[in-house]
Structure 1
Amino acid sequence: MEKIVILTGAGISAESGLGTFRDEGGLWAQHRIEDVATPEGFARNPALVHQFYNARRVQAAKAQPNAAHQALARLQKDWPGEVIIVTQNVDSLHEAGGAKHVIYMHGTLAGALCGNCGHCWTSPLEMEVDEPCPVCQQPLVRPDVVWFREMPYFMDEVHDHLAGAALFASIGTSGQVYPAAGFVQQARAVGARTVELNLEPSAGASMFDETHLGSASTVVPRWVDQLLAQGSTQ
C-alpha cells in the first residue's frame, strides 16, 4: 500500500502551548535566535543558552498532545501502508499522542550531547554550564538539538522515505528553513501528491497540489478522516 511521509513543524504544537520562534510573546520573543540557537551563540554565552533550553524543557514537560498529534497517530495505526512522521520539533508530543518511530531531524529537548566526545544521554530537566559528560568528564555539555547552520539528523533516512512516498504532507511549517523546505520538491520529483496543512500558506505554498488552511487541531483530524475514508492517496 502507498507510503505517506509527513513533515511537521512548530505549528502542530502551538495549540499545546509551545510557541514558534515567529510568535509574538513567549520564550523565543525574549531572545535573538543568533544568541540561543546557533553554535556561535553557545560559544559566546553557554549560560544563557542553557537557561533558555531549561525553560523550554519545563514548558514542554507541561504540554499535552492535541487533536492533531492524536490524529496522525491514528493515521499511522489505521492506514494500510506505511506512515512516516518526520518532525522539525524537539518536543515529544507526537509520541505522547501515540505515534511510533518518529524521526526527530532537529534532535529533542530530552537529549544531552557532549561537545567533546559526542556522547548522547537523557538530559535532566535543568542543565548547567559546568556539568560533566558522564563518559569523558569534560564540561562541554549542550542540548542535543540541531541549531541553525548545523546539519539535521537522519537526513539519509528521510531522503530514502521521500523517494518512496506516494503522498507527502507538510503540517505547521513555515517553508523557510532548509533542508526541510525542500522536501516538497523531492516528493514532487518522484510523482508524490503533495498536501499542505497550515494556519496560513507557507513560503512554498505554490509547490503543493492541495492546501488545507486552519488550526492544526481542526484541519489535521479532518484530513486524516478523509484519507482513511478514501483508503487511498489517489
Structure 2
Amino acid sequence: MQQRAINVVLTGVTGTALAGMLVAGVAAASDDSAPEKQFLAQQAVASQEHQTPADHPQKSVDKATAGSGSKAESETGSKSDAQREKKDSKVLLSGRTTASYFWDDGSGVNGDTGAPAGGKPMQKGLFASPSWPLHTKVKVSYDGRSVTGFVGDRGPGKPSHRGVMLDLDTYTFRYLLDGGKPKSKYNAGTGEGHLKNVKWEVLSWGKGAGEKGKPQPFGS
C-alpha cells in the first residue's frame, strides 16, 4: 500500500513537471516566433519602399505618354516650319529677260540720277524694274547661281523698250555672271553689260507704286 502511494506521488510530480515543460516550450516557441514575424514585416515594408519603376506600370506609362507628347509637339512644330517655308517660297509669277546693271546712290557719279525711288539706300539685292510695284520681292537666277532681292528703283529706261526688263545692282550682276565681285560699285569689271536669259521669279508683290503682272516697258 505504501509503495502504491509513492508511485501515485511520483506520477503526479512527473505529470506536473511535464506540463510545466510543455508550457515553457510553448512560451519559448511563441517568443522565438515574435522576432521572425517582426523581421518579415520590416522586410515587406523595405520591399515596398524600394520597388523599381517596372513595379509601377502607371508611372512608366505616364513617362511614355509625356515623351510621346513632346515628340508630337516637335513634329507639329517642324511641320509648321515646313509649311511656312513653302508658303514664303511660293512663286507668284516667273519669266525670263535680259538684265543690265546699275549703281545709283545719289552721288552723281557716272551720271546717276539720285537716290532710289523706293526710299531705301542703294545696296546689294536692290533691283530696278520699269513697272513692278516698289518693294516687290524678286529672285533672279543665271547659270546655276541665284540672288533674292527687291524692286527699289525704276529702270532701265529706254532699254526696257528693247526687252531689257531688269536693272540689277552691280554686285548681283557680277555674281550671277561668274561668281565674282565687281571692280567697283559702278563697274562690274567685265566687258559684259547685259546678261541674256536671266530667270526672274516674283515671290511677293510690294505695296509701293507700280503694276503687278508681266513687266512693261518704262513709261508705257
TM-score, normalization by structure 1:
0.22
TM-score, normalization by structure 2:
0.23
Bigger proportion of residues as helix: 2
